[in-house]
């Protein structure tokens, strides 16, 4: 009898609020302020890159700009322009179409700098896709460089947004400082 009274009193004076499960949360991602350094090579271009990244040559002048702390990579592909500029634009559009299935929004930021003989576009895909940021730069005569970002994680646009914004700033810096080199 004593045990029944103890349980009854325990239930009577236990928590008065119902137990509610906690909603699933996401990490609050913060990254250090970017510091940039010049990247120069034997390739026909140069630019500034975040010091937190490392650059690896994949093949020829194709590059992988890796962010180990973010598990992210910017892939740059350098292609020669030889009466194939329309095909190169179509290839960028095809890749964009492949990655934008189910996208709620695609933003395009076009740019042109006649002094540096540079034009291109940056595409932001708002969706749960493998590559949310894609871009290209070209001199429209000899060189075409396309780029895309991949993060080694399950695509979840809302939770990846801080990382994507950080990487977008790095891409903007890359493009703002991008220059074609005179090749001898």
110 in a structural domain: yes
6 in a structural domain: no
171 in a structural domain: yes
Contact 120, 138 (CB under 8 A): yes
pLDDT digits (tens, 9 = 90+) for 18-57: 666 666 665 566 788 999 999 999 999 999 999 999 999 9
Higher pLDDT, 100 or 156: 156
Using CA atoms, how far residue 164 sits from 104, 133, 143, 157, 181, in Å, is 16, 8, 27, 9, 29
What pLDDT is stored for residue 170 in this prediction?
Answer: 96
62 in a structural domain: yes
What pLDDT is stored for residue 11 in this prediction?
Answer: 57
Contact 52, 167 (CB under 8 A): no
Q: For residue 167, which of 27, 18, 66 has the smallest C-alpha distance?
A: 66
8 in a structural domain: no
| 143 vs 57: CA distance, rounded Å | 17
pLDDT digits (tens, 9 = 90+) for 54-107: 999 999 999 999 999 999 999 999 999 999 999 999 999 998 888 777 777 889
Instruction: Return the CATH number at 82.
Output: 3.40.1000
* pLDDT of residue 5 exceeding 60: no
- Region 152-176: mean pLDDT is 91
Q: Which residue has the tokens 């070209």?
A: 138
134 in a structural domain: yes
pLDDT digits (tens, 9 = 90+) for 96-153: 888 777 777 889 999 999 998 999 999 999 988 889 999 999 999 999 999 999 999 8
What pLDDT is stored for residue 155 in this prediction?
Answer: 86
What pLDDT is stored for residue 51 in this prediction?
Answer: 96
152 in a structural domain: yes
| 129 vs 157: CA distance, rounded Å | 8
Average pLDDT of every residue of the chain: 87
- Domain extent, residue 151, equals 53-184
The count of domains in the chain is: 1
64 in a structural domain: yes
């Amino acid at each position: 009898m004593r045990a029944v009274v103890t349980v009854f009193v325990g239930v009577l004076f236990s928590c008065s609020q119902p137990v509610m499960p906690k909603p699933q949360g996401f990490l609050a991602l913060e990254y250090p302020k970017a510091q940039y350094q010049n990247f120069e090579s034997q390739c026909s271009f140069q630019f500034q890159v975040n010091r937190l990244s490392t650059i690896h040559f994949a093949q020829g002048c194709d590059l992988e700009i890796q962010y180990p702390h973010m598990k992210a990579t910017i892939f740059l592909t350098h292609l020669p322009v030889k009466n194939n500029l329309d095909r190169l634009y179509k290839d960028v559009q095809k890749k964009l179409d492949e990655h934008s299935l189910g996208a709620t929004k695609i933003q395009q930021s076009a740019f042109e700098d006649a002094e540096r003989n540079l034009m291109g576009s940056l595409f932001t895909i708002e969706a749960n896709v493998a590559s949310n940021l894609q871009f290209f730069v070209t001199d429209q005569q000899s060189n075409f460089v396309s780029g895309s970002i991949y993060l080694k994680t399950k695509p979840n646009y809302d939770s990846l947004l801080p990382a994507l914004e950080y990487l977008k700033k790095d891409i903007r810096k890359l493009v703002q400082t991008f220059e074609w080199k005179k090749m001898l």
